[in-house]
């Protein structure tokens, strides 16, 4: 395709410009997608405020990474997609040949390929992402809900590797989009979920996703309040941390019962650290694990969960902004107003 398109371009921290640029050209192994719906994400907010060493590797760069759309152009070597297909996928793909990929640890790939451009009218889907991490949107699934597949895949990866038995008490710290996804996924596993957050609004929202109890983390004794909601007050069987704040990691460890499992999923800033009571850690046989990103398998699983409505994507969508108002939308997320916003080119 020839012509111009509108796009949000990242020039540096705090410097994102709404511009008209050339519609990108595809090669014979790629497709061009017209964006129908993009979503806000906490990662994009952090990228806007301070940049991102992995996702943004050169500037200026197109911006945003959660979107769905229609195929409008297909390279001659592409056989599994055609013009008119509704499509969605992940914004990255592992290399499949590095040290970790050879050990099926795809979320630790040393050579991730990333894709930006959700906040623009058209996006080129490169060969490797198209081959391993892109899919047709199932019939009946809305573009806006389909665009949730990438963040949901991250949560699916985390829940898939976290041991949860039916009837166990699971605490999810953080009721933002990822935290609410964990609430829903833990509920699907049969857990009795306790949601912990600083926002009464978000705590109330968590009930829609399956939380049976809520505790406001601003209460000085909120750790004891959480433990009081568990069997015999021993503490949670599993704690999932989904905020990325070291103090929340520490709080999660202090909420767990002996022999319990803590998933530290929220990413922290480089150089931060936590304090652990080593005696508690050792003699109570605690399991503390960190899990990052997603894999192609979990992207497929996330799309199926959305398509079958086991995860109701509509519950995550608070409102809508036009493409030129993306910074307003991201700042709304930063003020914890709502959950996610749809961006419409």
pLDDT in tens, 69-88: 999 999 999 999 999 999 99
Same domain, 149 and 117: yes
Note the pLDDT of residue 330: 94
Buried/exposed 277-306: b ≥16 CB within 10 Å, e otherwise: eeeeeeeeebebeebebbbbebbbbbbebb
Of 274, 290, 306, the position where a domain reaches its end is 290
pLDDT in tens, 143-184: 999 999 999 999 999 999 999 999 999 999 999 999 999 999
Same domain, 70 and 91: yes
Query: For the chain, which ranges sit under pLDDT 70?
Result: 53
Buried/exposed 162-173: b ≥16 CB within 10 Å, e otherwise: bebeeebbbbbb
Of 290, 307, 322, the position where a domain reaches its end is 290
Of 290, 307, 332, the position where a domain reaches its end is 290
Note the pLDDT of residue 172: 98
Same domain, 78 and 191: no
Q: Residue 207, by phi and psi: left (phi above 0), alpha (psi -120 to 50) or beta?
A: alpha
Instruction: Report the candidate in 45, 6, 322 with the shortest Cα–Cα distance to residue 176.
Output: 45
Domain range enclosing 127? 4-153+294-344
- CATH number of the structural domain spanning residue 169: 3.40.50.720
Note the pLDDT of residue 58: 84
For residues 87 and 33, is the Cβ–Cβ distance under 8 A? yes
Same domain, 216 and 265: yes
Note the pLDDT of residue 82: 97
* Total domains present in the chain: 2
Same domain, 280 and 305: no
Same domain, 33 and 130: yes
Same domain, 22 and 114: yes
- CATH number of the structural domain spanning residue 63: 3.90.180.10
99, exposed or middle or buried, with CB in 10 Å at 0-12, 13-18, 19+?
Answer: exposed
């Amino acid at each position: 395709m020839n012509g111009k398109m509108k796009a949000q371009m990242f020039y540096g921290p705090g410097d994102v410009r709404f511009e008209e640029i050339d519609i990108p050209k595809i090669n014979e192994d790629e497709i061009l997608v017209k964006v129908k719906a993009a979503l806000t994400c906490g990662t994009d907010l952090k990228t806007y405020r301070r940049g991102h060493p992995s996702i943004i590797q050169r500037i200026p760069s197109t911006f945003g990474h959660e979107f769905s759309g229609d195929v409008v152009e297909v390279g001659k070597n592409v056989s599994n997609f055609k013009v008119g297909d509704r499509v969605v996928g992940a914004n990255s793909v592992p290399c499949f040949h590095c040290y970790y990929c050879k050990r099926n640890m795809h979320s630790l790939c040393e050579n991730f390929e990333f894709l930006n451009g959700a906040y623009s009218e058209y996006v080129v889907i490169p060969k490797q992402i198209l081959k391993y991490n892109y899919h047709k949107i199932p019939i009946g699934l809305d573009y806006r809900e389909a665009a949730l597949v990438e963040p949901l895949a991250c949560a699916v990866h985390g829940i898939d590797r976290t041991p949860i038995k039916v009837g166990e008490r699971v605490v999810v710290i953080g009721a933002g989009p990822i935290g609410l996804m964990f609430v829903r996924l833990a509920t699907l596993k049969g857990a009795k979920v306790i949601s912990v957050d600083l926002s009464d609004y978000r705590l109330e929202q968590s009930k829609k996703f399956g939380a049976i109890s809520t505790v406001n983390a601003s209460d000085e004794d909120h750790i004891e309040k959480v433990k009081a909601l568990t069997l015999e007050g021993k503490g949670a069987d599993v704690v999932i941390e989904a905020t990325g704040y070291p103090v929340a990691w520490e709080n999660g460890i202090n909420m767990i019962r002996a022999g319990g499992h803590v998933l530290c999923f929220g990413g922290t800033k480089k150089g931060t650290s936590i304090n652990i009571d080593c005696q508690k850690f050792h003699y109570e046989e605690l399991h503390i694990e960190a899990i990052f990103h997603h894999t192609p398998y979990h992207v497929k699983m996330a799309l199926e969960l959305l398509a079958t409505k086991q995860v109701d994507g509509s519950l995550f969508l608070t409102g809508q902004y036009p493409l030129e108002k993306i910074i307003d939308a991201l700042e709304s997320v930063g003020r914890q107003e709502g959950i996610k916003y749809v961006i419409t080119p």
